[in-house]
Amino acid sequence: KKKLKISGRELSSIPVQVFGLDELQVLEMSPERESCLRYRMELLPREISRLRNLTCLYVDSNNLKKIPAEIGTLSHLERLTLSNNNLSSLPPEMGTLQRLHSLHLANNSLTELPATLCQLRSLTFLDVSDNKIGTIPSTIRHLEKLETLLLLFNSLESLPEEVCLLRNLRTLWLGNNHLRSLPASFGELVNLDWGYNYCSCNFEGNPLESPPPEVCSRGPEEIRDYFLSFRRT
C-alpha cells in the first residue's frame, strides 16, 4: 500500500506490522472525530525510521510531547503535520529533512522558533501559530523559499530585520502578539498582498504604536493605506 490511515484503538497502540510497509508514502495517524480523541498517540515510535519512502506524515491532534531523532532519517518527507500536540521542542535532526516544504506546528508549547527549522531550505509553508514563541532567530533568513509564515497568538515583542530578507513571502500573519514596532525594511516585502478584500499581512491584537517611516515609504501605496486605517482602529 502507498497510503495508510490509522485511527481509533489502533492509533494508541500502533501495530508493529505498519513499520514493515517500506513502500508506504502517506501515513495518517490523527484522530478523525472528537469521539476518537480518547485514542491518541503519546509517543511517535522510533520505528518510524523504517518508512524511508514517506512523503507525507500526519500526526496532528495527538498527545505527543517529543519527536524522536529518527524523524531525520525520512529523507523523502515533504509534508509534516504536528499541530495540536504538547511539543515544547523539536529534535535537531529535523534540520536534515531537505525535501520538506510544508510544516504545521500550531497549538503546541514551543517557546522559541527552533533554529533547526532554519536549515530547511525547501520550506514554503510554516505554521507556528498558538505557541509561546518569544524570539525568532536571525537565521530565519535562510528560508529563502518561504511563502507562508503564520505566527499568530504567540509572545513576540519584536521581529529581526532578517525577516525582511524573505522576499518570497506572500502571507505573513502576526496577529495577537506583543509587537510595538516593525523592522525598518518591512516595506520591502513587496509580495505581500495589501489589498482590501484579502490582507495577507495581519497585525490585529498587537500594541503597535507607529511603524517606522521606512515601512510606508518603501512599500506600495496599499501599505500606507493599510497602516492609516490600522491606526484609526
Q: Position of cell 500536540? A: 85
pLDDT grade, residue 199 (50/70/90)? low
Helix H or strand E segment including 80 = strand 79-81
Looking only at the bridges linking them, the beta strands covering 148-150 and 171-173 are: parallel
pLDDT in tens, 7-16: 877 787 888 8
> Which of 6-10, 89-93, 215-219 comes out lowest in average pLDDT?
215-219
Confidence band for 197, pLDDT divided at 50, 70 and 90 = very low
Share of the chain above pLDDT 90, in %: 62
pLDDT band at 186 (very low <50, low <70, confident <90, very high): confident
CA end-to-end span of the chain:
54
- What is the distance between the alpha carbons of residues 225 and 194, in angstroms, rounded to a whole number? 9
Look at 13-22, 59-68, 146-155, 197-206 and tell me which has the smallest mean pLDDT.
197-206
Q: How far apart are CA 26 and CA 153, in angstroms?
A: 30
* Neighbour tally for 210: CB within 10 Å: 11
Of 22-31, 51-60, 67-76, 206-215, the one with minimum mean pLDDT is: 206-215
Query: In this model, does residue 231 exceed pLDDT 70?
Result: no
Predicted confidence at residue 39, as pLDDT, reads 74
Pairing of strands 125-127, 102-104: parallel
Percent of the chain with pLDDT over 70: 82
Q: For the chain, what is the mean pLDDT?
A: 87
pTM: 0.90
Q: CB within 8 A of 179, min separation 6: which ones?
A: 156, 157, 158, 159, 203, 206, 207, 208
**What is the arrangement of strands in the sheet containing 148-150, beginning at the earlier edge strand?**
3-5, 26-28, 56-58, 79-81, 102-104, 125-127, 148-150, 171-173, 201-202
pLDDT digits (tens, 9 = 90+) for 126-164: 999 999 999 999 999 999 999 999 999 999 999 999 999
Q: Please give the single-letter amino acid code of residue 84.
A: N
**Confidence band, pLDDT 50/70/90 cuts, at residue 94:** very high
Residues 40 and 62 sit within 8 Å (Cβ to Cβ): yes
Residue 212 has pLDDT above 70, yes or no: no
What is the pLDDT, as a whole number, of residue 52?
95
Does the pLDDT value for residue 56 go beyond 90?
A: yes
List, for residues 24-52, the tens digit of each pLDDT value: 999 999 886 554 566 788 889 999 999 99
